[in-house]
Amino acid sequence: HRDLHSFPTRRSSDLNNLSNFLDVLLFVFIPWSAINLADYYLVKHGEYDIKSFFTPHGKYPGFIWRGLIPYALAIGCEIPFIDQTFYTGPLVKPLGGVDISWVVGGVAGFVLYMISVRIPIRGQTAIGPAVGPDTRPELESDSERIGLA
């Protein structure tokens, strides 16, 4: 008899635990997904060297810091908006108890990654060669282009 009487309470507790677990998955995977989608559709346009994924010294060696740093910062942006049993962020109560951490993390991950791909490292951005005052390619003059010079 005892098990039958505790069933509604246990079921409620199990559903609460499942809901919290799914919220944690959102917290972790939404910024990661936003970064991957931005990279696939806006940066690489779906063009990857698949064989290099499995080559330690290939085109994609080790950790790609252009993605990891924006991911870590996006996770940091989510923290004030988390509403979990183990932690409630300071901005949850002013929002009426709503957990919008995954929305903030997705937007932050996307924006921060799109900024990071434009930062030149060794004269190269993730979207191509860096172009600045001292790295602009030499342009032909009109007279050179038409063969007068």
pLDDT higher than 80, residue 115: yes
Is residue 70 within 8 Å of residue 35, measured between CB atoms? yes
Average confidence score pLDDT of the chain: 82
In this prediction, residues 48-65 reach a mean pLDDT of 83
Question: Tokens standing for 22?
Answer: 């799914």
| Residue 131 pLDDT | 58
What percent of the chain has a predicted confidence (pLDDT) above 70? 76
More confident residue, 123 or 149: 123
Lowest mean pLDDT of 5-14, 36-45, 102-111, name the range. Answer: 5-14
| Residue 78 pLDDT | 97
Going by pLDDT thresholds of 50, 70 and 90, the confidence category of residue 8 is low
| Residue 136 pLDDT | 46
CA-only gyration radius of the chain, Å: 24
Is residue 34 within 8 Å of residue 28, measured between CB atoms? no
pTM, two decimal places? 0.75
